[in-house]
Amino acid sequence: MTEFMKTPDFSLLENPNVLNRNKEPARAWYIPYRCRCSALSGAKMINGNAVGAVQANIIAEKNGRYKLLNGDWDFIYCKNKSEVAAALKGMPEISGSIHKDKIKVPSNWQMYGYDVPQYVNSFYPIPLDPPHVPYDNPAGIYYREFQLPETWNKEEIYLNFEGVDTYFYVYINEEFAGASQGAHLPSEFRITELLCPGKNTITVIVFKWAWSTYLEDQDFYRLSGIFRDVYLLARNKDHVRDFEVKTSLDTIQVRLESTAEYGAATLELYDADNRLLSRKDRMIKEKTAEFHFTPENPIRWTAESPYLYTILIHAYNEVIPVRVGLRTVSISTDGEFMINGVPVKLKGVNRHDTNPDTGHYTPLRTILKELLLMKQHNINCIRTSHYPNPPAFLRMCDELGLYVIDETDLETHGTVLGGHEYGKDQSLMFTENPEWRNAFIDRIERMYERDKNCASVVMISLGNESFYGENHREMSRFVKKRDPERIVHYERCENPAEDAIDVYSRMYSSLSFVEEYCANDNNKKPFFLCEYSHAMGNGPGDLQDYWNLFYKYPKAVGGCVWEWADHAVRSVEDPAKVPARRAAYGDAMPQYGQNKESLGTEPFFSYGGWFGDTPNDANFCVDGLVSPDREPSTGLLELKNVIAPVQVEDAGTKDGKPVYYIINRYDFTDLEELNITYRIKTPSKVYRQGTLFVKCAPHETALVTLDFTFPEFSFEEFFVEFRYCLKNDTVWAEAGYELGFTQRKLPVMQTVPETEPTSLMPPLSVTFSGENQSGILQAEGEDFKYCFDLDAGHFTSMCFNGVEMLNAPPHFTIYRAPTDNDRYIRGVWNGNFMHLAKEQPYACRILEVNRKYVTLLASYSIAAPTFMPFVKYSVLWVIYGSGEIGAGVTAEVRPGVTVLPRFGLELEMPAGNEQLLYSGFGPGSSYRDMRHYCKKGIHASTVTAEFTPYIFPQETGNHFGTEWAVISDMEGRGLLIKGMPEFEFSALHYTAADLDTTQFAKDLQPRKETIVRIDYKQTGIGSNSCGPELLPEYRFDEKQFCYSFTIKPIFTESTDILRESRTLPGITEETEI
C-alpha cells in the first residue's frame, strides 16, 4: 500500500439512505463457463462423497472465467476510523499500535486474536442510537495482489463478495471501486476499468459496525470480516446478466436478461444423467428472451426424491448451467401446505453458519456433513436462521433434497430492550420508519434474486424478530410482485389475517395454543412453528408431544427445532490466567473431585463471557442438536425417531396374534421402498423375527398381523420391535441404514416375582454397640457384614466378602444439577435452597430381629436453611440373611413445594466399580419425556460412558423405567439393585454438586468413586430454556408417594442375574433371638 490511497467516505457508516456505492444490481447466483463439458460437470455439487462438495469451485476455476481470491491476505487491525485513515497514508508514528499480519480469507478476524468474539442474543452490542455508531469502531484492512490472466484483458471483470460483516469499502489498484453492507448478502462490483494487465492489488476496508448493524441483531457470536468466498468473474462485454426459472408440475419456463439489446441464445435441457432431452434457440430482443420446455414423462422434485434437470444457457460465447427441479408450492383452501399438490409436513431445524475455529465461515465439507446428518436423521427442512446461508448450501439442498425457508438478513430484536417505550419513538421503530424502508427492501431483493431459481426454497421469510409494520408489508409486496405464487413467511406478524403473510408462524408456542389454532376451522392459513423444542444442553424433552399434534391436524405444517448446532469457540486457557484460575478454586477443588493441575491444558469449547465480552448471554448459544464439531446429541437421536417415516400403533389381536397399524409418514414415498423388519422378544430372548412386505402409499395405513401367539403369563415383558431401513443406496446413506424403530409392549401379564423365603436363607447374626436402640447395629451373614448407625439413620458400611462396597453413608436427596431447560424452575429450586438441602434423621427403631432378618423403621426429612422441610418420609429397612437389603419408602411433600427435581437414595461406591448392566430404557440417558430413541431391554455400559460432557455441565445419565441394575468392578463384585417394580437410576463419577458448581466441562475432574442414585422419580426435561413450561404430566409434583427397592451384593460371574432380578425376599418365619 502507498500513502496516496484515498480515505474512505466514513459518513456512509451512518447513512442508511446510501445502501451502497457502485454495487451491481442483484441477480441470480451462477458461474459462467467457457464450454459445455465444464458447465455440465460444474453444475453438480455432490458426487456421493465429501470431495464432491468442493468439485464445483475447482472446475469453475479451471474453466477460465472464475478466479477465487480466498487464501492468505495481508491484514491490519485498526481500533477506529482515525487509525484506518492513518494506516492508508502510511503514517510511521502510529505504526506500533497498528498490528500488521496475515489472515485467512474467508474467516472472522476475532478468530485470529484481533478484538474478541462477543456472544449476545438480543442486546445490541452498541448503544441504541441509530444510525450512529461508536467512534471506537474496529476495522480490518485486507490487502492482496493477484494476477489478471492474459485471456481476461478484453473481458468485463466483476468482483464478488458472498459475505462481509459488516460495512466494507473496496479499492482496486488503490482506486475506489465501491462500498456495500448486508453481511450475509452478495455484493458484486464491475471493476474492468480499474484493472491493468498482469499484477493488480485489492484492498478491502471492513468496519465492525455501521448503520446496518441495527438490522443485524441476530442471536449469534458478533464477528467481523470477510467470512465468505471472494472471487472474480470474467464476462464477455455482452453477456447474460440474469435469468429466472419458473416451473409447474410438467413445464419449465426460463427468462433471460442480457446486457446487450440483441443477441442469440441456445438453451439445452438435460436429464439427471446428462442426457440431452431438448434444445431450443431464441433471439434476444430488447435485452430479453423466453424459453419453454415440456419434458416427456416429467419427474418432479421433492425432498424425498430430489430429481434435478440441468439447463445450459449458451449465449455470447459463455455457458451458464442451472439445476432445475420441477415442483410447485401452494396452500390448500383448508390451510394445508402443499408441495406438488400434496400436503407435506416440515420436519425442520434452524441452521446458523457457525464453526468453532473459523467463526461464521463454514467450509463446504462441513456443510455437506451437516446436510448428510440431517438426511440421516429424517430432517427434511431447514430455516436459514436468520440470514441467507451461502449459495453452495442451497445447491446442496437442491441435490440432497431438503426444503428451505430462506430468511432475509434482518433482525432488530434489540430495539425493544433499549430503555424506551417501544412504539412511541418512530425513529426506533425501524419497520415503521420510512427512512429505513429502502434498506428493508434491499435485503429481501438481494436474497430473493440470488436464490430465486433454487428448487429447495419453499418459503421466503421476511426476517426474524424485527416486529411488524409497513416496511415488512413492502417487502412482501416486492416478493409477490416478482412471483405471486411465492409463499411468504414472517413470525412477528402476529395477526393471521394479514395479507402480507401466507403462513401463520409462531415460536415456542404451547401445545394448547397450537391445538386451539389448528382446531378452529375459521383459521385458513397453515400453522408453522418456526422455532420450538429449544435443544439446549440435555434435551429437548417434548418432541413427541408436538408431533402428535402436527400429525393430528392437517393445517399444522410442522416446525423447526431450535437449533441445529451449538455455537462455541474452540479455546485454550490463557497461560497468564492459569495460576490465578487454579488458585481461585483453592481448597474447594478436592471437595468437588477436581484437579487444579488439569486446568488450562486442553482445548475446550467456550461461550459468551469467556473472552471478557460484555454484555453477553453466557451459554445461551450452546443450544444445538449437534456439537460445534457436528457430533449428534441424544436430542438429535430423539428427534430422529419421533419424526421417523414409519409409525406403528397397536390394533389389538386377531386369533390370539398381535395386529398393528403401519402408518406411512412419508409424503411421496411408498413403504415398499423400505425394509421393515420385526423382532418379538423379551429383554433376554428373541422369540420370532422376520421381514414384513408392506406396500403402503404415502399418508396411508396398512394393517399387519404377526404370526406369533404370545403367552398369557411371563416373568419378563414381551415386546415387538419394528425397524425401518433403506432398501437401496442413496447419496446420503447406504442400503440397510436404519431410519427409525418402534417398540411396542405385548399384552402379556407378568407373573408375580419369585419369592426367596427367609426360611431358606442363611442365618443372620445381629449385634448392637449401644443401648436403647442406639449406636451401631451390625448384621452379619455368610459373606457380608453391614453396619447401620441407628442414631444417624443410615448404613455406615456394607462389606461383601471382606470388601467394602460403600465409600460414604448413603442418604436420600432431592436435587439434581439443573439442566439448561431447568432455566426458570432452577430459580425456584435455588431460591428455596434446594441445592443445600440435606437429609435429617428423626428417629430409628428396631421392629423385629430374628435368625434370618432384621427390620428397622426410620423417619427423616430433607430440608435446607430457612425453609420448612421439603419432604418428610419414613423407610422400612429390612436386612435379610441372604445379604439383600430391602427399602420401602413412604413420603409426603410439603404443600408449598411445586416441583421436586428428583427423590432417591444416593450412595457412593469405592473406586473401581466401573461396569454397568441394567434392564430398562437405553442405551443412552432416558427421562420420562425423552426416551423415544431408547429401547426397553438389557444394556451394558460403563460408568465413564454414562457421562455426557455437555459444554455447560448439567444433569445427565438418568435411566427411566429401570427394573434392575448391576454396578460392579472388574472382578464382577458389585451391587444388584432391583425395583418393585421399577425405578430410575444413574451411575456417574460426578455428584450433582460437581456438575452444578462448574461452568465448563473442561473444569470437571471425574471422581474415582461411583455415585449411584436410586430414584423414585425425576422431573422431566422439556424445553423451557426458551420454550413453554414443562408439561404437567412430566413434572414431579406428587404430594404423597411410595416406592420400594432392594440392594444385594453379588458376584456377576457366579450369579444368574436374570433369575436373581426376578426374585424378591419373602418373610416366612418369625423366630426371635
- Residue listed under C-alpha cell 414384513: 692
| DSSP label of 43 | H
Give the 3-state secondary structure of residue 544. helix
Do 514 and 486 touch, CB atoms closer than 8 A? no
Give the 3-state secondary structure of residue 346. strand
d(CA 550, CA 518): 9
Sorted by sequence, the CB contacts under 8 Å of residue 813 that are 6+ apart come out as 837, 839, 862, 902, 903, 904, 905, 906, 992, 1013
d(CA 214, CA 125): 10
* Lookup: cell for 230: 471472494
Residue 64: count of CB within 10 angstroms of its CB: 17
Q: How far from 329 is each of 337, 351, 482, 483, 655, CA to CA, in Å?
A: 8, 22, 15, 12, 47
Longest dimension (CA), the chain: 113
d(CA 331, CA 337): 5
d(CA 1007, CA 1012): 12
d(CA 513, CA 530): 14
Residue 905, Cα to own-chain centre: how many angstroms?
33
Q: What's at 191, amino acid-wise?
A: I
Do 948 and 634 touch, CB atoms closer than 8 A? yes
Strands 959-968, 871-880: parallel, antiparallel or unpaired by DSSP?
unpaired
Residue closest to 1017 by CA, chosen among 922, 939, 928, 913: 928
Q: Is 465 a catalytic site residue?
A: yes
Backbone Cα Rg of the chain: 33
CA atoms within 13 A on the CB side of 308: 26
Strands 1063-1066, 754-757: parallel, antiparallel or unpaired by DSSP?
parallel
CA atoms within 13 A on the CB side of 169: 23
| Sign of the alpha-carbon torsion through 482, 484, 489, 495 | positive
Strand partners, 311: 269, 322
CA atoms within 13 A on the CB side of 179: 23
d(CA 78, CA 370): 35
d(CA 374, CA 636): 9
Q: One of 336, 491, 531, 1060 is an active-site residue; which one?
A: 531
- Residue listed under C-alpha cell 400453522: 527
DSSP output for 166-228: SEEEEEETTEEEEEE--TTS-EEEE-GGG--SEEEEEEEEEES--GGGGGB--SEEE--EE-S
Phi, psi values for residue 719, rounded to 5°: -130, 155
Q: One of 83, 216, 411, 465 is an active-site residue; which one?
A: 465
Do 179 and 215 touch, CB atoms closer than 8 A? no
* Lookup: cell for 264: 442469440
Q: Virtual CA dihedral for 111, 115, 116, 118, nearest 10 degrees?
A: -110
Sorted by sequence, the CB contacts under 8 Å of residue 141 that are 6+ apart come out as 75, 76, 77, 78, 84, 87, 88, 203, 204, 205, 206
Q: Is 244 a catalytic site residue?
A: no
Q: What's at 415, amino acid-wise?
A: T
Give the 3-state secondary structure of residue 713. strand
d(CA 786, CA 456): 67
* Lookup: cell for 115: 478484538
Q: Tell me which residues are annotated as active site.
A: 465, 531
